[in-house]
Amino acid sequence: MAARQISLIGAALLAWGLVVAQDPPPIAPGKGGKAEKAAPRPEGQSPASKARPKTVTPQTYTVEQIQTGELRFGAQCGFCHGRDAAGGETGPDLTRSELVAQDVRGDKLGPLVRAGRVDAGMPSFQLNDSELTAIVAFLHRQMDEASTLGGGRRSVEPEDLTTGNAADGRAYFNGTGGCSECHSATGDLAGIATRYQGLTLLQRMLYPSGRPAPSPPKATFTLASGQTIVATLTGEDEFTVTVTDPLGAPQTYQRSAVKVKIENPMAAHFEQLSKYTDASMHNVLAYLETLK
């Protein structure tokens, strides 16, 4: 990651100024994300609400391949995704993965496994073709089996999450919770319940993340001239800020070399986590479920 020298910054920022003079518009759903792209998702469905996905293209594997894959998956993937691929300490349930459903003999899984999803904490795995095929075989088998179980272990169904009171949730949303200071039931949240349901809606309500990207943090640079330039923040630490330039490329600046202010709209969501009771959390979810 190359940090730019101060001498380059002026020109870069001026160039941006032409394009990004004001706040960038919120990233449209489906166009956000980082290196990875969201799998196509039909409107009105979320992974938790719709029927379990099934492998779309029939494909056959030998028993030996599946068994080999089961062992290898358990060793290298199982800690995060669960040995049965149904989710583990940090990794999602792959028996519900749209990517697995769409995959044909590793054409989608292979590149992902080999590249990793470093931002999401998944390392890259160096596997030869037969090793990869074995894992793919195992995942398709697990998906096929899980699709016949109907709510397997370690899963959360939308109907598990219907304990809240929507009226109380609405009052909290507009009152104590302060949600309405940033959100509107008829504005940004209109139809939210047709886009997300169940666990996905709850997770995004508590802390919007994942794909499509939520409102990203923004970095406001102030030049010596007093001109301000706003860019989307993609990463930061104590020493650097990384923003997306108008061409979509990441640019990293030393904090010591620029005057920059970061605003993160997600900060209010973090603050709220220490204020929710379980009842108010379920009530707000129930209210959001009414926004169809």
**Given the complex with other proteins, which of 107 and 160 has the nearer CB atom?**
160
- Interface map 79-118 toward other proteins (x if CB under 8 A): x--xx---xxxx----------------------------
- What does the alpha-carbon distance between residue 70 and residue 73 come to, in Å, rounded to a whole number? 5
Find all residues with CB under 8 Å of 223, minimum gap 6, and list them.
10, 13, 14, 229, 259
User: Should residue 214 be labelled a site residue for other proteins when binding is judged by CB under 8 A?
Assistant: no
Single out the residue of 220, 214, 240 nearest to residue 21, CA to CA.
220
User: Should residue 206 be labelled a site residue for other proteins when binding is judged by CB under 8 A?
Assistant: yes
Binding residue for other proteins, selected from 107, 130, 239, 268, defined by CB under 8 A: 239
User: Should residue 124 be labelled a site residue for other proteins when binding is judged by CB under 8 A?
Assistant: yes
User: Should residue 5 be labelled a site residue for other proteins when binding is judged by CB under 8 A?
Assistant: no
**Given the complex with other proteins, which of 126 and 225 has the nearer CB atom?**
126
User: Should residue 151 be labelled a site residue for other proteins when binding is judged by CB under 8 A?
Assistant: yes
Query: Considering only 30-38, 123-131, 169-177, 221-229, which stretch makes contact with other proteins by CB under 8 A?
Result: 123-131
- Interface map 255-284 toward other proteins (x if CB under 8 A): --------------xx--xx-x-x--xx--
Query: Considering only 26-34, 48-56, 173-181, 197-205, which stretch makes contact with other proteins by CB under 8 A?
Result: 197-205
Question: How would you classify residue 262: left for phi > 0, otherwise alpha for psi between -120 and 50, otherwise beta?
Answer: beta
Query: Considering only 15-23, 57-65, 169-177, 232-240, which stretch makes contact with other proteins by CB under 8 A?
Result: 232-240
User: Should residue 199 be labelled a site residue for other proteins when binding is judged by CB under 8 A?
Assistant: yes
The footprint of other proteins (CB under 8 A) covers: 1, 71-72, 74-76, 78-79, 82-83, 87-90, 123-126, 151, 153-156, 160-163, 199, 202-203, 206-207, 209, 235, 237-239, 269-270, 273-274, 276, 278, 281-282
